[in-house]
Amino acid sequence: MYRCQEDVLLTPLSSGTTGAPKCVMLTHRNFNAATDILKSEIFDNLSSDGGRRTTIAVLPFYHGSGFWALCYCLLEGHNSVIMKNFQAPLMLSCIEDYKVDTLNIVPSIVNFLLKNDAQLKEFDLTSIKTVLCGSAPIGKDLIKTFLAKFSHVEKFLQGYGMTEVVILSHITPLNSMLDDEKHLGSCGKLLPGFEARIVDDESGVECNEPGMRGELWLKSDCVMKGYLYDEIQTAEAIDQDGWYHTGDVVYFDQDGYYYVVDRVKDLIKVNGLQVSPVELERVILTHPKISDAAVVGVPDPERGEVPRAYIILHLDSGDEHGTIIEEIRKFVHDRIAPYKQLRGGIYVVDELPRSPSGKILRRELKKLVELTAETIL
């Protein structure tokens, strides 16, 4: 038995996208508040058809997304197929064998499902009816392509959150679903029980109008107690008024839907103009020969920083690296503003550093050496 609501219940790990993963102290109050919100706003609605669902656990339980995917099954009495670790062929086999109808996945898995027809054709995936996608932003074009390919999917939900607020602060409204193309790519609306502010990182002015970009601050009973044995980083994350500074740049539209731009620390400043790596990655990933991509800023004597792309090619892409790099350079050039061009080069690599929850580890990406001789500057 706990003595008070402020006692620590769980210490899961943060995703570690900007540094080493941190132990997050979540209290009984945090957990109870999150359970009430998720059950009333999401879980009960997903289970409203009365049938028993079957999910597959592909994300690690020590991160929020994986943990709550399991909690969903425990709270609602559903089935969960648990994988020891993520292996794409095993996931596909389990979906077919156990008739998995609900996927809780990340954008990198969405991209895998889109661009590996040779593997997918061996399995029957038509049991999938609901897809919940989070952990990182995903582009509208990828979602549309996914829904066109997997026409049997009835619900595609996007959410936003982090371990520091237990799990989710935003999610796509269940009544919008697939007929709401206008808001594809959004992480949804603010959930009940949360307050939000968007604050300009440089001026400190609050961004109150649709389309204005700034850092997202959150306040809720779901906000963590702090980081274990780290008072300094706790003070940096939670201000004296109880606002948690997420470190994510976002904006909202006229309908109250939120959109994640990027991490504050990941934005590339080209001649004083901000460039989002995520925006460039979305463009690159629409090319059919690219299986994965990541963008990072590199120093430039004239512009301060310029974007550099690391890409993974499809096994059947066929062409020489130099030919493909030139093709990708032209493909991206025609789709983005001049100051966002990949002047830092395009590098072909065998793998990209990702966290267990699927997020790109940009701090590790910056350590990558020139792995290929073919580079377009």
Return the CATH number at 215: 3.40.50.12780
The position carrying tokens 């290929």 is 372
pLDDT at 359: 80
Question: Tens digits of per-residue pLDDT, 58-69?
Answer: 888 877 778 888
Between 179 and 269, the more confident residue is 269
Confidence of residue 372 (pLDDT cuts 50, 70, 90): very low
Residue 136 shares a structural domain with residue 278? no
Is residue 372 situated within a structural domain? no
Q: What is the DSSP letter of 256?
A: S
Is there a single domain that holds both residue 82 and residue 218? yes
Strands 79-82 and 54-57: parallel
pTM above 0.75, yes or no: yes
- Give the span between the Cα atoms of 317 and 266, in whole angstroms: 30
Residues 350 and 206 in one domain: no
DSSP-assigned states of every residue in 73-102: HHHHT-EEEEPSS--HHHHHHHHHHHT--E
Crossing angle of helices 140-149 and 277-285, in 10° steps, is: 30
In a domain, 2, yes or no: no
Regarding whether 279 and 247 lie in a shared domain, the answer is: no
Instruction: Output the six-digit token pair for 247.
Output: 């470190």
270 vs 266, 280, 302, 304, CA distance in Å?
Answer: 13, 14, 9, 6
Checking phi first, is residue 218 left (phi over 0); if not, alpha (psi -120 to 50) or beta? Answer: beta
Name 155's bridge partners. Answer: 130
Considering only 208-212, 304-308, 368-372, which range has the smallest mean pLDDT? Answer: 368-372
The residue range of the domain holding 73 is 8-263
Cβ atoms of 275 and 307 closer than 8 Å: yes
* Residues 104 and 187 occupy one common structural domain: yes
pLDDT in tens, 200-255: 987 889 999 999 999 999 999 999 999 999 999 999 999 999 999 999 999 999 99
Q: How far apart are the first and last CA of the chain?
A: 62
For residue 146, is it within any domain? yes
Integer angstrom CA distances of residue 275 from 6, 263, 330, 353: 41, 11, 19, 21
Q: Which of 263, 293, 308 represents a domain boundary (last residue)?
A: 263
Three state DSSP letters for 127-191: CCCEEEECCCCCCHHHHHHHHHHCCCCCEEEEEEECHHHCCEEEECCCCCHHHCHHHCCCCEEEC
Nearest CA to 72 out of 102, 110, 52, 43 is that of: 43
Angle between helix 140-149 and helix 107-114 axes, rounded to 10 deg: 50
User: What is the number of structural domains in the chain?
Assistant: 2
User: Do 104 and 190 sit in the same domain of this protein?
Assistant: yes
Spatial separation of the C-alpha atoms in residues 259 and 251, rounded to whole Å: 5
Answer whether residue 51 is part of any domain: yes
In a domain, 333, yes or no: yes
- Spatial neighbors of 150 by CB under 8 A, at least 6 apart, are 113, 125, 128
Residue at which a domain ends, from 231, 263, 295: 263
Percent of the chain with pLDDT over 90: 50
- Looking at the fold, whether 224 and 328 belong to one and the same domain comes out as no
Asked whether 77 and 55 are in contact (CB, 8 A), the reply is no
For residue 239, is it within any domain? yes
Residue 375: pLDDT band with limits 50, 70, 90: very low
CB-CB contact of 238 with 226 (8 Å): yes
- Asked if residue 373 is part of any domain, the answer here is no
Same domain, 284 and 209: no
Domain boundary among 220, 247, 263: 263
At residue 23, φ and ψ (nearest 5 deg) are -80, 120
Q: Do the beta carbons of residue 33 and residue 219 sit within 8 Å? A: no
The Cα 262–Cα 249 span in angstroms is: 5
Confirm whether 75 is domain-assigned. Answer: yes
Same domain, 149 and 180: yes
Residues 333 and 237 in one domain: no
Q: What is the CATH number of the domain that holds 298?
A: 3.30.300.30
In sign, the C-alpha dihedral spanning 6, 12, 14, 20 is positive
* Shared-domain flag, residues 50 and 174: yes
pLDDT band at residue 74 using 50, 70 and 90 as cut-offs: confident
The predicted-structure confidence for 107-161, as pLDDT tens digits, reads as follows 889 988 998 888 999 999 999 999 998 877 788 888 889 999 999 998 888 999 9
- Of 224, 231, 226, 263, whose CA–CA distance to 247 is shortest? 263
User: Could you tell me which residue, 267 or 369, shows the higher pLDDT?
Assistant: 267
Helix residue ranges per DSSP H, 286-334: 321-333
Is the domain of 289 the same as that of 196? no
pLDDT for the residue 2? 60
